Structure 1
Amino acid sequence: MTGFDYAKMAGSAARLLTRFNQGMVTISRIVQGEPDPTTPWVPGEPTITTETLQATVKRVEQKFIDGTLIVGTEDQITFAVPSFEPSLSDEFTVDGKVRVLKDLRPLPGAGLPVAYIAFVAA
């Protein structure tokens, strides 16, 4: 869309999510290190990157429930864009409890994301 400033919208989303922030929500990325060539059967040390998110957590909205991947007993985390692009292999923690990530969606669905929604098992 010509003339629409996605970076400005991302800033607005971050400010709102900071203002209405709920609990402690973190995202962690675990990257397995390369093994030593002399002992390739021993995995290398993993690198873990963790970031605290500006986020809100609530029960999943009815419109997202499909009965297969997303069910009514799960939560949705709406969060500002972190320093790295989130992926389905990342780990979410809410108030100290690791949550199983079921789905991850950028907002909007195409173009530069201004926020994300993660669906996690409760």
Structure 2
Amino acid sequence: MKIRLSILAMVFLSGCSTGTYESTSEAILGSELGQSSSLLLQWWIPSDKSYEYRLSDHEKNVRDKNLENCIESLGKEYPKPPNTEIRAIQILECMRKKGWKLFREEIEIS
């Protein structure tokens, strides 16, 4: 839940409050400067893998297709998209059902 809330805060602050599922997806994966000179990065990994896992080319294609499918199906199900926070939760949940989780890493910049 902590990751979801921080992702929602990041998406909300990124300024895509009246966007589409695609723009929300891009905001979820966007990097941003954190507090005290740190960089926050997010990326999708298989639910059963750790953050150190590196995706094969095939897995990258599957991830991309799954994300495209989520964006497309949510767009059809909700032709008038809900607010940014709800869209972000819907994308996270759709990807979770497809076997993906969002990993977040904070890198200190010195």
Confirm or deny a common fold (TM above 0.5): no
Higher RCO structure, 1 or 2 (CA under 8 Å, sep 6+): 2
Decide which structure has the larger Cα Rg and report it.
1
Structure 1 length as normaliser, TM-score?
A: 0.25
